[in-house]
Amino acid sequence: MKESSERQPGARRSRSGDLTPESFEALLDFLDEDRHLAGLHYETIRRRLVRLFEWRGLGNPDDLADETINRVARRLQEGTEVRSADPFGYFCGVAHLVAKEVARRAARERAALEREDWTPVPPPEEPDGDERLDGLRQCLQRLPPDQRDLVLRYHQASDHIRSRQGLSQELGIPMNALRIRVHRVRRKLEECVRLRLRVNALQVHR
């Protein structure tokens, strides 16, 4: 039974891939000297963190819970002393910082979307328009069909406001969530176009 409890948090740790064996051991030592009880505390804290991020309305609450635990484990390994009588209180403090980072990142994405300043960033040597357009077409074809359809429908309609409102209703998501979703696809396209242009430039100079 004890062996099973120790494997359970370890399985979650391997999924996140951010914890070293040393930091994970420091985390378990912090939770309880008994490895069986430490494993139980780990699972309880993780469930409470997931619920906390869900209550804040943040996406990917499981990933955010794992990130919080990872940060606590790294601090413990580095020698941070936690004097709180309730270990979960310390996890909550770190979770608050993680949530603030997520909020700042979302604010930057919203600001970029409101500026509507999406243009694939060219490499230092400016390629011609046909080359950029060709790269964009190729990258669009490599997108999953649902993402390709989303970004094309978002940008191609003549009446942007009405068509985007209809798209958000069709997908069942608010307009802000639609903008963020499209913005993420556009970033993926930007990276793809930038990479293709760089590869093409290297081939030309050979």
**Are 192 and 139 in contact, with CB atoms under 8 Å apart?**
yes
- For residue 143, what is the DSSP state? S
Coil, helix or strand for 185?
helix
Task: Report which DSSP code applies to 120.
Answer: P
Note the helical H segments in the chain.
2-16, 21-31, 35-55, 61-77, 87-115, 129-142, 145-156, 160-171, 175-205
Q: Which domains are seen in the chain, by residue range?
A: 2-113 (no CATH), 121-205 (1.10.10)
| The predicted structure's pLDDT at residue 198 | 77
Per-residue model confidence (pLDDT) at position 8: 38
Cβ neighbours around 166 below 10 Å, total: 13
The number of C-alpha atoms within 13 Å of 107 and in the hemisphere containing its C-beta is 6
Tens place of pLDDT per residue across the chain (206 aa): 333 333 334 433 333 345 678 888 888 888 888 888 888 888 899 899 999 988 888 777 888 888 899 999 988 888 888 776 778 888 998 999 999 888 888 777 666 655 555 554 444 444 455 677 787 888 888 888 888 888 888 777 656 677 788 888 888 888 777 877 888 888 888 888 888 777 776 665 55
User: What are all long-range contacts of 170-176, with beta carbons under 8 Å and residues at least 24 apart?
Assistant: 176/110
Contact 85, 34 (CB under 8 A): no
